[in-house]
With several copies, the nearest count.
Chain A
Amino acid sequence: MKETEQVSEQNLKKEELEKLTLIEAALYVAGRPLDLKTLSSVLKTRSKRKVRRLARILAEEYAKRVTALEILELEDGRFVMQLKAEYTPKVRRIATRPLVPAGPLRTLSYIAYRQPITQKQVVEVRGSHAYKHIKQLEDLGLISKEKAGKNTILRTTTFFADYFGLSHDLKTMKKQLKTLFETLSSQSSMKVGGGER
C-alpha cells in the first residue's frame, strides 16, 4: 500500500508498535468500521495523519501474514477488521450473531448487480418472496427505496458498500461486484432467477 510499503514491525519504535496493537484492539472490539477520529481518541493523539499511517501499516502487516483476518481501509477513510470473504461459508454456522439467510442475500446480490432497479422487476425475477427480502434488507440498512412516480426504485446504500469494502462510485462498484461474483460463483455456480431461494 503506497509509500508505507517498506515499513515493517522491525522498523517501528516500541512506542509505535504499542500504538499499532491499540488500533488492532479497537478494530477487533468494534466489529464495524472506525473512523480516524475514533482511532485517534483511542491512541490519545490528535494527528489523524499519524493514525492513518499506523492503521495502514497494520493493514499491511495483516495482508502479508497468513491469516483468515483482514484489515481494510474503506473509501471514506475508515478502517475495519473482518474475516476474509473466502472463509465465510466455512465458519458461518459458528458465528453467534443471527445471520441473514441465503434467500435475502441473493435478492441483495441481484439488486446490487442491476441497480438502480424497480421493486417490480426484482419481484418478477426473484418471486413474491422478494417483498419480504426487500423489507429485511431495508431494515438492515443495506438497500434504500425511492418512489419515482408509480415505481419504487431500489439501490444499495453506502453502508452496503462499506460492509463489502466496495467503492461508493456506482460504476466502480459494479465492476468490483462483477469480479466478486465471479470469485464466488467459481465456488458455487451462478443461478438463473426464479429457481430456489
Chain B
Amino acid sequence: MTVSREKPFYFNPPWNILFDFNRLNKISPWQVKISFLLTSFLEEMEKRGEIDFRASGVALDSSAFIYLMKSKLLLKLEEPPAPRPVIKDIVPPPLFLPLRHELTSTTIEHLLQVLEEVIKGERLFVHKIKMEPILPQPSEVLPEIDRYLMEIQKQMENLYFRLKGVLREKRVIGFSEIVSKAERLEIIRTFILLLFLAQQGRINLWQEEEFGEIFITLAEENVIEGNGASF
C-alpha cells in the first residue's frame, strides 16, 4: 500500500490536468484526451484499490467542462487541430527482464495460520446473518399457535367450570384459595387463565390493596362487554 504521506497519484501527469482548474481554464481543450484520461484514471484507481469518490467526481466535473469548451469552440466553427504528429525516433526492441527462478518464502504453515483468522471472520459473518429477523415459515408455525390457542380455550373452560361450582355457594373467592394446593407453575397458569376470563368479561377480578388478595366473582350472565377486569 502507498504511504499516506504521498500525494495522491492523480496529482501527477497526465491526470493532474483534471484537478487543476486554473490550468484547465487556460489550455486549449483540444490538447486534452478525455477518454484516455478517464479510462487510465479509473484503471489506476482500481489497480491501487483506492477508490476515491471525491476525486472521481472532480474528474467527471472537469471532463464535462472540457467537453463544454470543445462544444463552444465547435459552435464558433473553430476546426479541431490536426492530431499532433508523432515524432519519429528509433525505438529499440523491448528489453525483456531476465527470467530468474526465485524460491518464495510462503509455506503451508503460513497459509493455515492466516486461514485461522479468516475462519474466525467467517463465523462472525455467519453469526451476523443469523441475527437478521427471519420470518418463520407459516406452514410450520401456525398449527403450533392453533394448538396453543385451543389448549388455552380448553383450560379456560375447565377453570370457569370449576369457579362456577365453587361460586354457587359463596359469591366471592380469593385467588389464594383456588390455588392453595397448586404448584408454582400451576399457580401462574391459573392466574393467566383468570386474566383471559376477565378479559372476556366472564369473571370480575379486583384487589383491595396493592399486593393484597385477588378477589374473584362471576360476572352477570349475558354481560359480555363492560366492566371486565378491574384492578
A and B touch in the complex (CB under 8 A): yes
Known: A163-B98, A184-B116, A191-B93. A100 touches B106 (CB 8 A): yes
Tell me which of B118-126, B131-139, B140-148, B166-174 binds A.
B118-126
Known: A81-B100, A98-B104, A110-B115. A132 touches B49 (CB 8 A): yes
A80: interface (CB < 8 Å): yes
Q: Which residue of B36, B106, B115 contacts A99 across the interface (Cβ within 8 Å)?
A: B106
Residues of B27-54 whose CB lies within 8 A of A: 33, 36, 40, 44, 46, 49
Q: Which residue of B46, B86, B96, B118 contacts A193 across the interface (Cβ within 8 Å)?
A: B86
Known: A98-B105, A164-B108, A181-B116. A194 touches B99 (CB 8 A): no
B77: interface (CB < 8 Å): no
B80: interface (CB < 8 Å): no
Residues of A109-127 whose CB lies within 8 A of B: 109-110, 112-114, 119, 121, 124-127
Report whether B92 and A110 are in contact in the complex, using a CB–CB cutoff of 8 Å.
yes
Q: Is the interface of B mostly helix, strand, loop or mixed?
A: loop
Report whether A193 and B88 are in contact in the complex, using a CB–CB cutoff of 8 Å.
yes
Write out the residue numbers on chain B whose beta carbons fall within 8 Å of the beta carbon of A131: 13-14, 40
Q: Which residue of B13, B49, B96 contacts A105 across the interface (Cβ within 8 Å)?
A: B96
Known: A80-B100, A88-B99. A109 touches B93 (CB 8 A): yes
Residues of A158-189 whose CB lies within 8 A of B: 163-166, 177, 180-181, 184-185, 187-188
Known: A28-B101, A31-B102. A180 touches B108 (CB 8 A): yes
Report whether A109 and B99 are in contact in the complex, using a CB–CB cutoff of 8 Å.
no
Report whether B118 and A164 are in contact in the complex, using a CB–CB cutoff of 8 Å.
no
In the docked arrangement, what's the CA distance between A29 and B97, Å? Answer: 12
Write out the residue numbers on chain A whose beta carbons fall within 8 Å of the beta carbon of B9: 135
Known: A109-B118, A188-B116. A31 touches B98 (CB 8 A): no
Known: A131-B13, A191-B91, A193-B88. A95 touches B96 (CB 8 A): no
Report whether A194 and B101 are in contact in the complex, using a CB–CB cutoff of 8 Å.
no
Write out the residue numbers on chain B whose beta carbons fall within 8 Å of the beta carbon of A193: 86-91
User: Nearest chain-B residue to A188 (Cβ)?
Assistant: B93
Q: Which residues of A contact B (CB under 8 A)?
A: 28-32, 80-83, 85, 87-89, 91-92, 94-100, 102-103, 105-110, 112-114, 119, 121, 124-129, 131-132, 135, 163-166, 177, 180-181, 184-185, 187-188, 190-194
